[in-house]
Structure 1
């Protein structure tokens, strides 16, 4: 990755994870790649952020207390379009069996990665899910 032109420059990412260390590490990794990261320790706070921000992508854990990642993404998909309904979403989770992968897609995620995911795989997955600003017509 070229540090002069970070891979995720200009991308606004919401990361939702109840594990403080994972949230901090994911935020740091994505920030170093040029992304503007909004970190949320709960799905409820994440849902508020989705409605307040114009996000390029959501990255969410699945196993969280009170509202899990499946409930969270279903709530996002129930929002009006102008409040984030169609924001691309990536499940980043320790649940990695085909059953959990299928459940994530059924809930409304477009991609599923198992923890721990390498930075390279994470960046490639994000880039594949969104239109990077360089791809926009002038």
Structure 2
């Protein structure tokens, strides 16, 4: 499952916030993003540190571990979506987890994250999710019980050139027409009331 060869992304001007309490995991993540061409990245060892950064810097993408002491990734994303700085409130968030149980995935979805990636992951998988986030056209929803991207996106399908996980995923690419377009007279004839044959 790789990106379409014609797909190009320039991440050099992106401001990425990386949050993980494990220093080694944080350094590996930073190295992967350097490999993606991300020159402006901020590494945080805690959600509290990330909160301070978000109050003073513009961030384009947040990559956050789910399991952290004091404030875990879910609480951080809930804070971001409800109480974070207005300009950062709807920044895309990719959650990272070492245990991708159904409850973990649901918790990530329900706290307002855009996507979740299971550890260990390859740089290619992470890059695919970044591409999905960049092309994601879901509206942001604000309600009493949920703030984040609209969770209903199953039928939209994966971005062009990315193979979906489900066998019934639709492509966002419509493709070329197989037949010539009808002119307006032909359309009108199809819609015109006809006398029924008895």
Q: So what's the TM-score if we normalise by structure 1?
A: 0.85
Equivalence for 2:11: 8
How many aligned residue pairs are there? 128
Unaligned runs of 5+ in 2: 136-198
Q: Does 1:99 align with 2:103?
A: yes
2:93 aligned residue (67, 89, 100): 89
1:113 pairs with one of 107, 114, 117: 117
- Provide structure 1 residue ranges, at least 5 long, that are not aligned to the other structure: 132-138
Counterparts in 2 of 1:98 and 1:7: CA distance versus 1, 3 Å = farther
User: Deviation digits for residues 14-51 of structure 1, max 9, x if unmatched?
Assistant: 01000010000000110121112110000100111122
Which of structures 1 and 2 has the larger relative contact order (alpha carbons within 8 angstroms, sep 6+)? 1
Distance 1:11 1:116 in 2: 24
**Which residue does the alignment assign to 1:47?**
51
1:26 and 2:29 matched: yes
TM-score of the superposition, structure 2-length normalised? 0.60
2-structure distance, mates of 1:33, 1:80: 27
